[in-house]
Amino acid sequence: MAFAKNALDQRYPSIAYMEPRARARIPRYAWDYLMGGIGEEAGVARNRAALTGVTMIPRYLEPMNGEPVLETELFGRTWAAPFGVAPVGFGGVIWPQAPQFLAAAAREAGLPFALSTVSTATLEDIAGIAGPNAWYQLYALAEPEMNRAILRRARDAGYEVLVLTVDVPKKMRRDHDIRNGFGIPPRIDAEMIWRTALRPLWALATLRNGTPRFENIVPHMPAGLSNAEMSMRFQKMRDGRITAEKLAWYREEWPGTLVVKGLLAPEEVVRARAVGADGVVVSNHGARQIDAAPSAVEVLPAIRAVVGPDFPLLADGGVRTGLDIMRLLASGADFVLAGRAFYLAVAALGEAGAAQSMHVLREELAITMGQLGCERIGALGEFLDRER
């Protein structure tokens, strides 16, 4: 008989059990922003369906010499498990101080936390909370000196890993966000006020923490700009299309680990490695950029085949369970990032949700590997059902 290992396990033993509570606690526009994709949202469904379609063949007659080993080497560090928190923009809109809660929990759990450029928390604050577990995700800007200034801040704060996102070459157009008036700042109208009033805990927490802003961009903006002016200016400042030549510039400017996020084509992963990237996040940006893009788990085997076994591949997209993490690892990833799952947990349970989400994903991964008969992360590919 299984018993809960902590007080929250009985009520919230998985991300799926947290999801209804999260939806009931945050406004509709915040929910749509977190959970939605782009267009008809076929890509969101594809991410889930592709993961679910990965099956594994357990081995029952072989002996296991011990419990599965989850510790994973990546970028010169040993992590407690092969997963971490993906960068999520506007995290404090989903739940106030969500980035701070997740950064603290990640450090305690021995996992990485990646902070978005468009986070509602400053990179300095998160570095102070997560310490060496903090990674910084960069949306490139058109002005080299501004990029240098942000990179300098990240270096001075102690970040060792820079995650450069390349899959946002154009301004996004997400129907639900347009309809909801979601943005920084939001469109304030009767419907938004009404939806906010329906979620009093979220509204009060937001009131206590102040209006969310692009905290990492504020120091690089002219003084006195409103949030609306700052948002418009940031969109004009962004350098969307990161060519291989531009990637080489970032390789020269950043002395630490450089990870390129958002590649799906095998030849582009090879090119990123040739330019000097230390790793790649295989990702379709949570199906939030182009509805026709394949999921990471669909393209991982081909990418792994061309880069060989030693080049670090991270992956994300649709992860909700430890089994999903295992599926991505078995398909060729060395490490897995998740965004929605962690922010759902904080939306559901506040600060306690951060640690609970990491606990349940780790437990699910360990138990599922044990059921499979696999002791090592690196051996998961041997259990992949390749006939499907």
Distance CA 102, CA 133 (A): 11
Q: 280 — phi, psi (to 5°)?
A: -135, 140
Helix (H) and strand (E) counts in the chain:
17, 10
Q: What is the pTM of this model?
A: 0.94
Q: Considering all CA atoms of the chain, what is the largest pairwise distance in Å, rounded to the nearest integer?
A: 69
Q: Roughly what angle, to the nearest 10 degrees, separates helices 42-52 and 322-330?
A: 80
> What is the radius of gyration, based on Cα positions, of the chain?
20
Active site amino acids: 285
| Cα distance from N-terminal residue to C-terminal residue, the chain | 34
- Can you read off the two tokens belonging to residue 268? 């582009």
Block residue for tokens 């990965």: 54
* DSSP structural state of residue 157: H
Exposure of 10 by Cβ count < 10 A (0-12 exposed, 13-18 middle, 19+ buried)? exposed
Task: Return left, alpha or beta for 148; rule: phi > 0 is left, psi -120 to 50 is alpha, else beta.
Answer: alpha
Q: pLDDT tens digits, the chain, 388 residues: what are they?
A: 455 567 899 999 999 999 999 999 999 999 999 999 999 999 999 999 999 999 999 999 988 888 999 999 999 999 999 999 999 999 999 999 999 999 999 999 999 999 999 999 999 999 999 999 999 999 988 888 989 999 999 999 999 999 999 998 877 778 877 787 776 556 666 677 777 888 989 899 988 988 888 888 888 888 877 777 777 777 777 777 899 999 999 999 999 999 999 999 999 999 999 999 999 999 999 999 999 999 999 999 999 999 999 999 999 999 999 999 999 999 999 999 999 999 999 999 999 999 999 999 999 999 999 999 999 999 999 999 987 6
Backbone angles phi, psi at 314, to 5 degrees: -105, 160
